[in-house]
Amino acid sequence: MSVAAALCDVTHQFDEHPALSNISLTLKEGETVAFLGPSGAGKSTLLALLDGRLRNWRGTAEVLETPYSATARPPRDARSEVGFIFQEFALVDRLSVYQNVMNGRLGRMRTWQSLWSRFGERDHLVVSGVLEDTGLTDLAARRADKLSGGQRQRTAIARCLAQEPKLILADEPVSNLDPANAEKILGLITGAARKRGITVVFSSHQPELSQRFADRIIGLRDGKLLFDRPSGQVSAADISELYHGASPSAELRVVS
């Protein structure tokens, strides 16, 4: 299996405060990976690095065969291969679902075409397919500000899929949703990505849901990588140690 991203010894600090410490990891093409860890663990910072938005980090990072620089954005072509699903959806309220999803195609167009929104037949075909996969066909004409939270999230996912990325990054994509919708949305992202062979990395505060939908879990705490295992091999003790600092059995050993 080919490598989608490789980070080696990546370190970053915000104003002297370490946010990432010596992180090394490899993402394989087509796999779904969850970043788990308490607040402030460094999950969003690591996603920003993979998205090419983080500056002034140390180490090496290569994403989809593009070596990243700590001082400049990746080239436009490379950026269009990486899709990001934001927690707050970032839709244009006055535009329809269809137009919002079509906006996902802009990064793939030449500058002059995108300036005039010159969408072609293939763009419309891609958008129709994506709307169908995300169950939005019947809502295509509705304005974004007339959607429910779950429908807005589905539109944001559809826009990301319309971009035809090779890597999807999602920062806590289901944190604002009720449990039933959270499960549906995570199933939608990971299912649509698997169908297209897209690599997915999402961050979450929900260990059980993450284990169900990700192939692999990366546990982060205080900017450090605590564990990196296939989902099926992550134990309750791993999760407890991640969130509370020590596994119950380790605490018992200390007491006895």
Residues that bind ligand ATP (CB under 6 A): 14-15, 17, 19, 37, 39-45
Closer residue to ligand ATP (CB): 52 or 107:
52
Q: Which CB atom, from 98 or from 202, has the smaller least distance to ligand ATP?
A: 202
Choice between 138 and 208, CB closer to ligand ATP? 208
Helix axes 121-133, 149-162, angle to 10 degrees: 140
CB of 127 to ligand ATP, least distance (A): 31
The whole-angstrom separation of Cα 85 and Cα 83 is 7
Q: Which is nearer to ligand ATP, 83 or 219 (CB)?
A: 219
* Phi, psi at 14, each rounded to 5°: -100, 115
Among 38, 32, 62, 35, CA closest to 50:
62
Which C-beta is closer to ligand ATP: that of 156 or that of 158?
A: 156
Work out the end-to-end distance of the chain between its first and last CA atoms, rounded to an integer number of angstroms.
46
What is the C-alpha separation between 214 and 232, in angstroms, rounded?
A: 10
Query: How far is the C-alpha of 72 from the C-alpha of 52, rounded, in Å?
Result: 8
In the complex, minimum distance from the CB of residue 158 to ligand ATP, in angstroms, rounded to a whole number: 24
Q: Output the smallest distance, CB 87 to ligand ATP, in A.
A: 9
Nearer to ligand ATP, 100 or 203 (CB): 203
The C-alpha torsion from 28 through 34 and 39 to 41, rounded to 10°, is -20
Length of the chain: 256
Nearest approach in angstroms of CB 210 to ligand ATP is 13
Taking Cα atoms as reference points, which of 65, 60, 54 lies closest to residue 23? 60
Q: Which residue, 193, 220, 191, 216, is CA-closest to 205?
A: 220
Q: Minimum CB separation from ligand ATP for residue 175, in Å?
A: 9
User: Cβ of residue 12: shortest distance to ligand ATP, in angstroms?
Assistant: 8
